[in-house]
Structure 1
Amino acid sequence: MLRIHFTGDDLARTVLADEPDALWEVSISLHRLQRRDAGVVFGPWRSRILSRIPTSIRLLSSLAPARGYCPDFLTPARGASRAAQMEALRSTGRSTIRAELREFRRQNPKLHLPSWCARLAEGDSETLGRLAHTADAYFDACLTPYWDRIRAQVHRDRTRRLAVLADGGWEALFRMLHPSARWSHPVLELDYPVDQDMHLQGRGLVLQPSFFCRYNVTSLLDPRLPPVLVHPIDHDPGWALPAGARAEANPLAVLLGATRAQLLEAVANGAATTRQLARLAHTTPPNASRHLTALREAALLRSHRHRNTVLHTVTPLGVALLNGQQPQLPA
């Protein structure tokens, strides 16, 4: 059980991260590779990237096992750029590494750390550099080709959660994090592999969506680190397919047509102007404008003029349709 203790100031300082976190996705995607689960959602991605995985991946997978504790230093500097995160990883202090490797042994007694971890614990910068280089190479080979799609899915999920927050407040949002979530002010409880208490102490909480997180929430162990709760999102099962195959597999495209489905998804993911939307849907602005008019007439989006530009936003009905929910039709 994970118990998150809020003070009076913490809800005001709790935020929904607006981007996927590169190193959390590296770590959690390695769980998916090793566990070989969630085949419908991640199977196509796994089959496409197996031949691209760097040969040095065991450096990472030995510290990010399929199940169990993963050292906090592998996921540093939340909210920083990927380059800054990699530099933070390379700069991890020896005392931190030693403490977290001891914790790894304690929490994963059936796993054996490889011999090179002794050099890591002694502060060998070359070994730590190789670990960071492997994380970077793995990201480039296995995540970069899909990163735009991953970001789009995270953005769409965040838009849906913000709508729930606006309508139902924090309690409604917390219930969305996981089926086990229970909010009894001032404590949020969630099922967790170990028994852990997180005291926010006025620091607030970052709700970090993770694309590759599938079944359970996760977090950092060290109470001195900025509080973060990593949670799964809803997925489009065809996300890893080539563009043409995704369109054929997308039931929304069958209902609306491929171009209108692309436009509606792009609006929900934050694109706002007709020109931006046309570019994302690979069509001309006049053709995009015609399709956007049809979507507006169907109450799936709203449009308003700002100076010389028309801006588009998705409606609650449009969000419900994108998320496969039973929509509340307008009167």
Structure 2
Amino acid sequence: MLRVHFTAEDLFHVTFADGPLPMVELAMAMVAWQRTDEAAVFGPWRGRVGRELPGRVRPLLDLLRPDGDNPPFVEPYAATLEEGLTAVREAAPGLTGGQLARAAARAPGPDSWLRALWRRDRAAWDQLEAALTAAHASVVAPHWARIRQSFQADVAWRTRLLAAHGIRTCLASTHPAAAWSGTVLEIDRPPHYEVRLGGRGLLLMPSPFWTGRPLVAEYPEGPYVLLYPAMTPLPLVGPGPAAGALDALLGRTRAAVLQQLVQRRTTSELARDLDISLPSVSEHTRTLRAAGLITTERDGRAVLHAVTGLGADLLRSGA
């Protein structure tokens, strides 16, 4: 379980990041490629990435593992790729033996390259920079407009949620298993991790690649960072401008599902009316339900879905 302890000061200092960061999204993309969850959404994307990634990206798999608990130095909070690569290089003197042991224990193969990296071997660091550059060119740069679209739509929706229902509801919406116990935000998913913000506040950063429970990162300066799955993952973001604000937030198909549920419908009816598969309907309704936009109940053998008050507000506002 993740437990994040807030003080009153922290609750006054919850803000959203200004935009997605290339090195963070690069790390999350590499993580997402290795994960096996959310197969209905990410399965085809993972197949394409596997075919398109150049071989020189391979060393990154020793550092960026599927659980997302990555060494901070390889995903710096930098505004550009160039600034990020510089920050990665500058982190070399600060790497510790304990960090090496942790990275080596999680790596899927031999640790010889990691040990060379920690010894500040120039060839190893050149190899790391080449891997980061190639991965960015393959999985981030071509899709940056869609990454920004997903980020901005998520922030727009949660800002409205914050204004209408308060900070506790906004933070609890970042994961289906999130709930409050007093001033502690609890997310009932492993592994156990306890964070005390201590007045530093929290910066919210949605990622269209991340599919697991929210991650908390600590940096020496500034607030803690909560990285969580954006409401619309990258594979569901259309390649062109969305037809409307609701499409930009949810993706066209998921927005259509929500609009259909102004009247109660079964999973089969949604699949028929929208001409999509039953597994696709189930994936969309699961996400909409987790966000509090629809309810689902069983009536005999049928599964019935309907929009909630919050979902109706979203449809009326088009936000």
Please give the TM-score of this superposition, normalised by the length of structure 2.
Answer: 0.70
Deviation at 1:161, TM superposition (A): 0.2
What residue is the counterpart of 2:271 in the other structure?
none
The amino acid across from 1:262 in the alignment is A
Residue 265 of structure 2 corresponds to which residue in structure 1?
none
Task: Give the direction of change, closer, same or farther, for the CA distance of 1:144–1:97 in structure 2 (3 Å limit).
Answer: farther
Q: Which residue in 1 is equivalent to 2:95?
A: 96
Matches of 1:66 and 1:142, distance apart in 2: 16
| Cross-structure match for 2:33 | 33
Superposed CA RMSD in Å reads: 3.2
1:51 CA displacement: 3.4
2:243 to 245, 262, 272: 262
Is the alpha carbon distance of 1:127 and 1:267 closer, same or farther for their aligned partners in structure 2, counting shifts above 3 Å?
closer
Partner Cα distance (1:210, 1:136) in 2: 20
Q: Is residue 23 of structure 2 the alignment partner of residue 23 of structure 1?
A: yes
Task: For 1:154 and 1:16, locate their aligned partners in 2 and report how far apart those are by CA, in whole Å.
Answer: 10
- The TM-score, its normalising length taken from structure 1, stands at 0.68
The amino acid that maps onto 2:243 is Q
Matches of 2:117 and 2:184, distance apart in 1: 38
Please tell me whether the aligned partners of residues 149 and 239 of structure 1 are also in contact (alpha carbons under 8 angstroms). no
Quickly say closer, same or farther: Cα 1:132–1:103, change in 2 above 3 A. same
- The letter for the 2-side match of 1:118 is R
Aligned match for 2:124, one of 110, 124, 127: 127
Is the aligned partner of 1:176 residue 2:173?
yes
Spell out, residue by residue over 1:4-24, the C-alpha distance to the aligned partner (whole angstroms, 9 max, x if none): 122232122221123223222
Residues 231-288 of structure 1 deviation map (CA, whole Å, 9 limit, x = unaligned): 0122268636665xxxxxxxxxxxxxxx9x624458879xxxxxxxxxxxxxxxxxxx
Q: In structure 1, how many angstroms separate the alpha carbons of the residues matched to 2:185 and 2:174?
A: 11
- CA–CA separation in structure 1 for the residues paired with 2:233 and 2:79: 27
Corresponding position of 2:146: 149
Q: 1:104, CA displacement in angstroms?
A: 2.9
Larger Rg: 1
Gaps of 5+ in 1: 244-258, 270-319
CA distance in 1, matches of 2:246, 2:57: 34
Can you give the 5+ residue segments of structure 2 that lack an aligned partner in the other structure? 251-292, 295-306
Equivalent residues in 2 for 1:91-240 (5 A)?
Answer: 91-105=90-104, 108=106, 111-220=108-217, 226-235=223-232, 239=236
**Partner residue in 2 for 1:309:** none
| Contact 1:71 1:101 (8 Å CA) reproduced | no
Match of 1:2? 2
Q: Which residue of 2 aligns with 1:64?
A: 64
In 2: Cα distance, 1:125 partner to 1:219 partner: 31
Letter in 2 for 1:38: E
Give the distance between the partners of 2:195 and 2:75, measured in 1 at CA: 18
Aligned position for 2:46: 46
CA, structure 1 residues 125+237, in 2 after alignment: closer, same or farther (shift >3 Å)?
A: closer
- Deviations along 1:16-71, whole A, 9 cap, x unmatched? 12322322222222222223442332234333333331211221011112347422
- The number of residues matched between the two structures is 259
- Classify the secondary structure of the residue corresponding to 1:198: strand
Contact 1:94 1:122 in 2 (8 A): no
Q: CA deviation at 1:217?
A: 1.4
1:97 deviation in Å?
4.8
